[in-house]
Amino acid sequence: MEFGERLKQYRKEKGISQQALADAIFVSRSAVAKWENGLGLPSEDSHRALLEYFGISAAELPMHEDEQATVVKNRRIREYGWIIACLSVVLIMALTGGLLYSINHGFGFTSEMAAGELWRDEDVIHTPEYDFYWYSLAPEGDPIRFIDGFCAVQKTPIGYQRIELEPYKREVISDDGKWSGILYSFQGADGWHHIFRSNYHIVSYDEPMRVVAFETVRVKEDVYPVEHYSYFVTDFELTDFWGGDRHFTVRK
């Protein structure tokens, strides 16, 4: 049994506190606490005062030569503990700050987290490269819903990131001039992404404009499926395409 453990045992048997023992031998309470915790040893005078106070011999409360090595070891363990505790606090603060920064700047462990509260409850289109969250524009009485605003979330090796896209915004018009709309296009790693904001059938200025939708578009001999009547991907930038039996030109 080490010196500190023996001292604590004698104090407990006597039923006194560290402060009472310290007062009895004229030292501070912190000195007694250090002795009991193996972080220090009493001086020769304090050791004799302890022996007299407890009425014991030096053999019953010895201070061996290797006690000092134990004290140094315990001090180092305590110091390392404080260092680890401080580093843990710093790490927790850094992780918390990083998490808050990530959330505020469009990063997230899930696609919904990256999209944020504004978009997470909206409809979503999943693609290999992006998740598109969108809200729709549906004219009164028209069952077809069109993308009217969208948010793109890109998949990364460690999570998801909301990105600010700068798509090409161009007018689309049919050869006869009766059908028009707006096409957003931007280039991703897996091709060109296109989104129709809406398409209108222009009959006359007195007649309300009507929405028209395509389930596929055709570029030369290639046919591309259209999701949500608005979104599709091609391998190249569009200059023109066929929707149904009408040919459309993308104006620059």
Q: Which of 237, 197, 241 is nearest to 216 (CA)?
A: 241
pLDDT range class, residue 23, cuts 50, 70, 90: very high
- Please name every residue paired with 240 in a beta bridge, in sequence order, or none if there are none: 249
- Residue 112 exposed, middle or buried by CB count within 10 Å (0-12, 13-18, 19+): middle
The pLDDT of residue 4 is: 85
Residue with tokens 């309300």: 208
Mean pLDDT, to the nearest integer, of 19-35?
Answer: 90
Rounded CA separation 168/147 (Å)? 16
Mean pLDDT of the chain: 79
Mean pLDDT, to the nearest integer, of 13-32?
Answer: 91
The pLDDT of residue 223 is: 93
Domains along the chain with CATH numbers = 3-99 (1.10.260.40), 112-250 (no CATH)
Task: Please check the confidence at residue 125 and state whether its pLDDT lies above 90.
Answer: no
| More confidently predicted of 94 and 133 | 133
135: helix, coil or strand? strand
Q: Which of 178, 179, 169 is nearest to 251 (CA)?
A: 169
pLDDT range class, residue 52, cuts 50, 70, 90: very high
The pLDDT of residue 104 is: 56
Mean pLDDT, to the nearest integer, of 142-168?
Answer: 75
The string of pLDDT tens digits covering residues 65-98 is: 566 666 666 667 667 767 777 777 888 876 776 5
C-alpha pair distances (Å), 118 with each of 114, 123, 220, 236: 11, 12, 39, 31
| More confidently predicted of 184 and 78 | 184
For residue 246, the surrounding DSSP H or E stretch is: strand 246-250
Task: Please check the confidence at residue 135 and state whether its pLDDT lies above 70.
Answer: yes
Rounded CA separation 134/228 (Å)? 10
Provide the 8-state DSSP code for 52.
H
Lowest mean pLDDT of 93-97, 156-160, 193-197, name the range: 93-97
Rounded CA separation 252/250 (Å)? 7
The pLDDT of residue 246 is: 85
Token code pair at residue 116: 């944020």
Among positive and negative, which fits the CA dihedral 51, 56, 61, 63? Answer: positive
What's the residue count for the chain? 252
The pLDDT of residue 140 is: 60
